[in-house]
Amino acid sequence: MTEPLRLGIAGLGTVGVGVLKIIRQKAALLEARGGRQITISAVGARNRSKERGVPLDGYDWEDDPVELAKRDDIDVFVELIGGSDGPAKASTEAALRAGKDVVSANKALLAHHGQALAELAEANGSVLRFEAAVAGGIPVVKALTEGLAGNDIQRIMGVMNGTCNYILTRMESAGLTYDEAFAEADGLGYLEADPTLDVGGIDAGHKLSLLSAIAFGTQVDFDAVELEGIGRVSIEDIRQAADMGYKVKLLGVCQMTGRGLEQRMSPCLVPATSPLGQLDGGTNMVVIEGDQVGQIVMRGAGAGEGPTASAVIGDVLDIARGTRVSTFGQPSDRLTKPKPASTATPAPYYLRLMLLDKPGALAKVAAVLGEAGVSINRMRQRSHDQNTAPVLIVTHKTTRAALDNALAAMVGTGVVEGEPVALRIEHV
């Protein structure tokens, strides 16, 4: 008779409780699908006395996650602690050194230490799985490492932070300012304890760096991800984008180019009729383009107890079946150190700037753009007060470097108030 697969679960927050519930409620189904019984030997968390809505008396308790990771009666260490260092890193390393397989939902840990952890797993004959770390319940890691393994991946795009998508959607649908939509999301409990992880693009950037490593066979390089959050997107930008047939999304894009590996997470305009443009609320979407399959669109819940726990269980069942895949889809010693792209792929841009009501002001702005090699596609001046007028410009394709040179030069013209907003237009 096949021996049970024994788990040790560190971290009993929303996701950890969700994993416990699935294992308790679907034991027969999991055994049938995994080929062996899934059991829990021990659990641990910071607060033992906290009421979690699920009984824990049938499991041993470990206060120290490192000790939990090293227990002889677990086969798989499930790391749901969170954080790029500290107990999460120490316990994951301890589990791998002890020859345990590891399932993690920790995007920050993998984004910062993925290469070293992959090497440690292979050195000890273990596997490290992290489906739950990227896009919640969407099985995008499995799709890249297995289902699409016969493809050269050309580009990955995605909306990978539900909180940001919720804020941008509410700004459009309810006419809220950024601050009002942010406060609403905070009141609903959507924001991380440190909100900049969400609205600053860091959380989504972690996820993008992991997908990029799998897609292009490179070592994880989160430090090379160009990050820009949504804090400067105004209701005016939302409205103007809609008027031009676009939606504003915090969009992650990675692709290998002749200039190197391009990884960026920033607010972009996407066509309103595209799958990404039609994505509302807290939902995530990942678009994968492969040379054999063309474009694949995967959409689903990007966070929450059920979706993320579902992803954890998927990894556990693969281990139960004996499926053993390298952390990033190929042996760690074959992952190359990426060369970051010197410049992003040229694209059109949307610009919003406040122009002082001075003679020749518009001509000066146009001249600065022209001198930087940025060509204007269309321009619109909105109604204005006595001192300033909002001016909206859509450029032809240009590089961000050329555009940044133009924006810097505008400061010296004396006709622009404040800092202009520039949003890339991504055609999908």
CA distance 119 to 122: 5
Count of structural domains, the chain: 3
Task: Answer yes or no: is 328 within a domain.
Answer: yes
**Same structural domain, 154 and 295:** yes
Q: Which helix (H) or strand (E) holds 103?
A: strand 101-104
**Same structural domain, 284 and 160:** yes
Cβ contact 391:382 at 8 Å: yes
Mean of the pLDDT values across residues 299-316? 94
Query: pLDDT, tens digit, for every residue of 129-176?
Result: 999 999 989 999 999 999 999 999 999 999 999 999 999 999 999 999
**Same structural domain, 98 and 144:** no
Q: Is the pLDDT of residue 193 over 90?
A: no
**Same structural domain, 270 and 395:** no
**Same structural domain, 186 and 53:** no
**Same structural domain, 297 and 373:** no
**Same structural domain, 169 and 113:** no
Cβ contact 13:83 at 8 Å: no
Which residues are catalytically annotated?
A: 207
- Domain holding 410, by residue range, is 349-425
Q: Is the pLDDT of residue 2 over 90?
A: no
**What is the pLDDT, as a whole number, of residue 383?**
66
Residue 230: both structure tokens together: 């949504």
**What is the pLDDT, as a whole number, of residue 385?**
64
Task: Answer yes or no: is 344 within a domain.
Answer: no
CA distance 62 to 56: 12
**What is the pLDDT, as a whole number, of residue 269?**
97
Task: Answer yes or no: is 65 within a domain.
Answer: yes
**Same structural domain, 94 and 170:** no
CA distance 29 to 253: 37
Q: Write down the mean pLDDT value for the chain.
A: 94
Query: pLDDT, tens digit, for every residue of 271-295?
Result: 999 999 999 988 999 999 999 999 9
Alpha-carbon 8 to chain mean position: 27
**Same structural domain, 216 and 150:** yes
Query: Does the pTM of the predicted model rise above 0.75?
Result: yes
**Full strand arrangement of the beta sheet holding 60-61:** 60-61, 38-44, 5-10, 76-79, 101-104, 128-129
**Same structural domain, 187 and 117:** no
**Same structural domain, 34 and 132:** yes
CA distance 127 to 117: 10
**Same structural domain, 19 and 82:** yes
Q: Is the pLDDT of residue 311 over 60?
A: yes
Mean of the pLDDT values across residues 44-58? 91
Query: pLDDT, tens digit, for every residue of 216-275?
Result: 999 999 999 999 999 999 999 999 999 989 999 999 999 999 999 999 999 999 999 999
Helix 27-34 to helix 305-321 angle (10° resolution) is: 40
Query: pLDDT, tens digit, for every residue of 366-382?
Result: 999 999 999 999 988 77
Task: Answer yes or no: is 339 within a domain.
Answer: no
**What is the pLDDT, as a whole number, of residue 384?**
63
Query: Residue 355: which CATH number?
Result: 3.30.70.260
Query: Residue 324: which CATH number?
Result: 3.40.50.720
Query: pLDDT, tens digit, for every residue of 52-106?
Result: 989 998 899 999 999 999 999 999 999 999 999 999 999 999 999 999 999 999 9
Task: Answer yes or no: is 337 within a domain.
Answer: no
Alpha-carbon 1 to chain mean position: 41
Residue 276: both structure tokens together: 């990404």
pLDDT band at 360 (very low <50, low <70, confident <90, very high): confident
